[in-house]
Structure 1
């Protein structure tokens, strides 16, 4: 597991301090990056992963990438916020491999980390707190340039602080508890899926990869990840398509091929089943923000 974690890459998008009121009220927020908050004053609510979190002063909160969420503030609250991309080798997400808590009592050192990230990354605040504004392609395309402009010292410090803060939310036990052989480790299957999203993937192939029967493989996969393998594969294809639509100028046909859904009509149906929008409408709405 640690060898996998050694490939973890974290890239800062935004960091800032916000004064928010009842206008902070957004539904159907699904972003291709991870969010982290520290609440300093007031109260609000966030809904995700089938849970309701009462945001309260002195606590930190985590929302994984590509997670449906809803925000609501009835009166007023203030928060430090961080958004960042996370990726393990071959496009895998750490949220596939480890279990996380999403609410933690912050220590003085944690608060100092938020403040330090803001200090060494000025001018990275969100201009508008509406997700439909900041989840757009132009914003996402500029983050790499801003990170490259950091000094070597600040770049390394930023990455280290992000790692420390993210590590706070990881549960002590591994999410995957399976037989101790490489081929029976489902994390290897997730990596295999991520590497081959542009190809045909069958349950028989994945089960064989683990030296398991198809039925048993499907059962333990659902037990570990909450969905059948086919649905998981489709969800990963749609997630990658969303990111490509936001961050590249690739045509819909090129993106469909890159995510293993070469038939444009089928690609559109699958994409809409997960997002409620066709790929073309998704890109158009984001670009016209």
Structure 2
């Protein structure tokens, strides 16, 4: 956790109504919601949640989210990214809760965060970090220690993260762990419930979504940087998995980032 850097993009509040009901969409940022009035239904990776007053919700980036609001929902929301070096992704490692009771002083912490997160003085930076960690901590209160099998793959997962734009094969990855490629593939699939190739594709699509929302690079350049050497294949795969073309995703993510 000491190696994690938090980058906050949006701190705001608002009220949504029936227009918030939408098809599934993978948000490009982690999000914290705090509902203070109204309610809505949210489906997160096939898990249905009732968003209701008095609770905080944590939505990991790139998770498929579908919302249904029949009346209205008033909520505070925070969009943020986590940069980590040489450690496993904390959502994969610790599997935090996605719904917890709201902190009694949430509004005060939120207001501090909103006031200081764009300022670069030491005072504001320290207040920003302390505030976001206070809001995140309850989601991790009951997390278990990561399994031995998961920790075994730390070096491999970090290697994948840093080499997405290169050719990655089972043979290359298995060699890092000094395992037979077939045994490595089977162990990886058992641990992460997806094959190494499926995991690599997911991480490449995650990187593409990040680049689409944080840069002005052209789609073909993003495809290459994300590890896809064929732009047509990248666009077709992106549309198949995400439900939008890369260009459509960029436009929709920009809208979503400004709304809630």
Which sections of structure 1, spanning at least 5 residues, go unmatched?
122-145
**Residue of structure 1 aligned with 2:94, choices 91, 98, 111:** 98
Q: Normalized against structure 2, the TM-score is what?
A: 0.86
Measured after TM superposition, the shift of residue 201 of structure 1 is: 0.4
What pairs up with 1:110-259 in 2 under 5 angstroms?
110-118=106-114, 120-121=115-116, 147=118, 149-170=119-140, 171-178=142-149, 185-259=152-226
RMSD: 2.7
TM-score (structure 1 length as normaliser)? 0.78
Q: Answer yes or no: is the 8 Å Cα contact 1:10–1:163 preserved in 2.
A: no
Question: Could you tell me how far 1:112 is from its partner in structure 2?
Answer: 3.5
Q: Deviations over 1:223-257 (max 9, x none)?
A: 33232110110111111112222322333333222
Shift of 1:94: 2.6
C-alpha change, 1:238 and 1:60, in structure 2 (3 Å) is same
Gapped runs of 5+ residues in structure 2?
none
SS of equivalent residue, structure 1 residue 45: strand
2:235 is the counterpart of 1:275: no
Report deviation, 1:24.
Answer: 2.4
SS in 2 for 1:178: helix
Change in CA separation of 1:282 and 1:38 when aligned onto 2, cut-off 3 Å: closer
2:24 corresponds, among 25, 28, 31, to 28
Q: Does 1:83 align with 2:79?
A: yes
**How many residue pairs were aligned?**
255
- Matches of 1:77 and 1:278 in 2, distance apart? 29
Residue 10 (1) aligns with residue 30 (2): no
Please say if residues 25 and 66 of structure 2, whose CA atoms lie closer than 8 Å, have aligned partners that are also in contact. Answer: yes
C-alpha separation in 1, matches of 2:223 and 2:82? 23
SS at 2:19's partner residue? coil
Secondary structure, counterpart of 2:95 in structure 1:
strand
1:129 match? none
Within a 5 Å distance, the mapping from 1:52-71 to structure 2 comes to 52-71=48-67
